[in-house]
Amino acid sequence: MNAIKSAGEVLGRTSEYLESGLVRKQPSWYKVLAYHPPVNNRTKTIRPHVLKKIKEEEVEALRRILSHHKGDLFYKTRLKPNQMVSNFLKPQKLHFIEDDLRDLFYRQHPWELADPKSLIENEHAVNLEVLDWSTMRQYTKKLDGESVVQRTLYLVNKEKKSLLDAYEQAKYEYYRLKIEDETETNVSEEQSEMFGAVYGKSLVEYGFDKEMTVLTKWKKDAVEQTRVIEAKRANSSAGGLARQENKDLEAEAEGEEETAEGEEEPTSEEDLLQELRNAEQRR
């Protein structure tokens, strides 16, 4: 039985099942979907040119890894004769093919780095070479990127496969086991909820709640501080206007006093004539 690859194939595949008798009763959504088929296909698809580019980068990375070793899956760390004089006492950097495979896997699967780990997770998996890597599943070790690396090396060393074929097979087995684990987890959660189990908050939800609590408190404090700043600004501007008005009033009062002091008393015409007579008599 072929799997349905897009939402547009559901109606046609169901019609085939009804005609063949595999499905005897017509689903309640059958006519609704027939009269109102989906306009757009919302199924996520991989673009061919993107997939081609990814595979080319992967092949080039594996080819570069193979170019550093000669069949023993280790890098050469022995110094050359011309390097013995200057670099003899310097610690040499050891390179292993496992490091490059880990870097390649996690560069292609960055979300695998978000998989939570515990401090005692590697307690029984320190000596990975002791484990039997004829299968990907190891009951003393959690399924992760390291499983892909060790399985790849096993296929190369034991089954004499090429590095590219071994890496592709290890990735395929890893995907299948991850799908099985996620399916088992979802089914067990649904069965537990059916029997009345109540799950608490996850670590992500707990962290989200703590973050929202801090943000709410920050918002409340920011609003209060903004009100205080605006009140201070209003008081300072009002006080400045009052001081300016007082200065203007004082300046006007001083100007009036100076004007009053500088003005002479009003003189009549008789007084001016008397002053002129007195001046003539003095002559």
Per-residue model confidence as pLDDT tens digits over 19-44: 888 888 888 888 888 888 777 766 66
Using pLDDT thresholds of 50, 70 and 90, give the confidence band for residue 212.
very high
120, 186: one domain: yes
70, 139: one domain: yes
Whether 175 is in a domain gets the answer: yes
Whether 268 is in a domain gets the answer: no
pLDDT at 66: 75
Contact 73, 156 (CB under 8 A): yes
Distance CA 192, CA 152 (A): 37
pLDDT at 218: 93
65, 186: one domain: yes
pLDDT digits (tens, 9 = 90+) for 73-82: 555 556 666 6
Whether 131 is in a domain gets the answer: yes
Distance CA 134, CA 151 (A): 7
pLDDT at 60: 84
CB atoms within 10 A of CB 194: 8
Whether 247 is in a domain gets the answer: yes
CA angle 27, 191, 182 (to 5 degrees): 90
119, 185: one domain: yes
Say whether pLDDT at 130 is over 60.
Answer: yes
Whether 155 is in a domain gets the answer: yes
6, 29: one domain: yes
pLDDT digits (tens, 9 = 90+) for 2-19: 555 566 778 888 888 888
* Count of domains forming the chain: 3
pLDDT digits (tens, 9 = 90+) for 149-194: 999 989 988 888 888 889 999 999 999 999 999 999 889 988 988 8
180 secondary structure, DSSP code = H
Share of residues in the chain with pLDDT > 70 (%): 69
Examine the fold and report which residue of 194, 214, 242 is the final residue of a domain before the chain moves on.
194
Contacts of 95 (CB under 8 A, 6+ apart): 68, 74, 75, 77
Contact 10, 4 (CB under 8 A): yes
Among 82-86, 178-182, 249-253, 278-282, name the one with the lowest average pLDDT: 82-86
72, 18: one domain: no
pLDDT at 263: 47
What is the three-class DSSP state of 64?
Answer: helix
Contact 133, 152 (CB under 8 A): no
Q: What is the pTM of this model?
A: 0.54
For 259-281, letters b (16+ CB in 10 Å) and e give eeeeeeeeeeeeeeeeeeeeeee
Domain that holds residue 189: 48-77+92-194
Whether 283 is in a domain gets the answer: no
Whether 17 is in a domain gets the answer: yes
Token pair belonging to 17: 């099942």
Examine the fold and report which residue of 194, 210, 245 is the final residue of a domain before the chain moves on.
194
23, 72: one domain: no
186, 139: one domain: yes
Whether 123 is in a domain gets the answer: yes
Name the packing angle between helices 48-66 and 163-194 (round to 10°).
Answer: 120
188, 229: one domain: no
